[in-house]
Amino acid sequence: MSRIPLIAGNWKMHKTLSATRTLLGELQTAVADVDSVEVAVAPPFTALAAAVETLRGGSIRTGAQNMNEAEEGAFTGEISPVMLTDVGVNFVILGHSERRALYGEDDELVGRKVNTALAHDLVPYLCCGETQGEREAGTTEAVVSRQLLAGLAGVQADQAASLVVAYEPVWAIGTGLTATPEQAQQVHASIRALLAERFGESVAQSIRIQYGGSVKPGNAAELMAQPDIDGALVGGASLDAASFAGIVRATAAAGS
């Protein structure tokens, strides 16, 4: 089955309003002629409305980097799914390793957020990935499957086809280290097998599994050429239009 590759930029805590408009304007121009790759950006909360407005009428999607699992309430500093749909975003990154490591998000909380996102028609980009120590201990696939089974608890097969899984080895995020295409493919294949067990083969074949971890224009093509790698979640290289567009173009070339 052919899945349309999805390249998404996770801007993290970067970009003011004016920088958001500038970057998105440049990005729209840079990828205007690429139609075989889906492109998405996740600016910080403060820039979401400006991003939605700037991208209106085009094909680049806008998403958030996190979300609370409740619809409203006394949760100082939090943002709800209702607020995200109200502002016009289409997806939400959940369970990013920085949220897990720095803000104590555990597998069960991530699972509740995934269910809430689906209930609000937000596409969850469910992140998973092992630390360096877990890889060295030979537990990569056990860690990833634990994160995914908890993250997908309660999700029905008919909801699952729309979701996105992002495999991001923690040791490769922001470090300049990248999994080799073979290392990444091995984990992606195991993720697809788990999705098939959980939701059936045909749903598993339609779910996009992104790779994330120091993806750059120079290493994107060989990663994207792997059969179970369906795009990338990009941090640092998404902050510059030329480098992000370079990844989108490399992905388009890998699939053609």
Residues classed as catalytic:
96, 168
Site string for ligand PEP, 118-157 (x = CB under 6 A): ----------------------------------------
Considering only residues 225 to 254 of the shown chain, the ones binding ligand PEP according to CB under 6 A are 233-237
**Which of 168, 190, 204, 243 forms a contact with ligand PEP (CB under 6 A)?**
168
Which residue from 7, 173, 204, 229 is in contact with ligand PEP, where contact means CB under 6 A? 173
Distance in angstroms (rounded) separating the CA atoms of residues 72 and 201: 37
Using alpha carbons, list the distances in angstroms from residue 48 to 15, 41, 193, 205, 231: 11, 10, 35, 31, 22
The answer for residues whose C-beta is within 8 angstroms of residue 44's C-beta and 6 or more apart is 11, 12, 13, 14, 15, 65
- Farthest CA pair distance, the chain: 50
Taking a C-beta distance cutoff of 8 angstroms, is the pair 126, 151 a contact? yes
* Options 80, 140, 159, 214; binder of ligand PEP; rule CB under 6 A: 214
Cα angle for residues 94, 101, 214 (degrees, 5° grid) = 70
Give dist(CA 248, CA 7) in Å, integer.
6
Please report whether residue 213 would count as binding ligand PEP according to CB under 6 A. yes
Helices (H) and strands (E) in the chain, counts: 12, 8
Q: Which stretch binds ligand PEP (CB under 6 A): 74-82, 104-112, 141-149, 206-214?
A: 206-214
User: Smallest gap, in angstroms, from Cβ of residue 200 to ligand PEP?
Assistant: 29
CB of residue 226 to ligand PEP, shortest distance in Å = 17
Count of residues of this chain found to bind ligand PEP when the rule CB under 6 A is applied: 13
Binding region for ligand PEP (CB under 6 A): 10, 168, 173-174, 212-215, 233-237
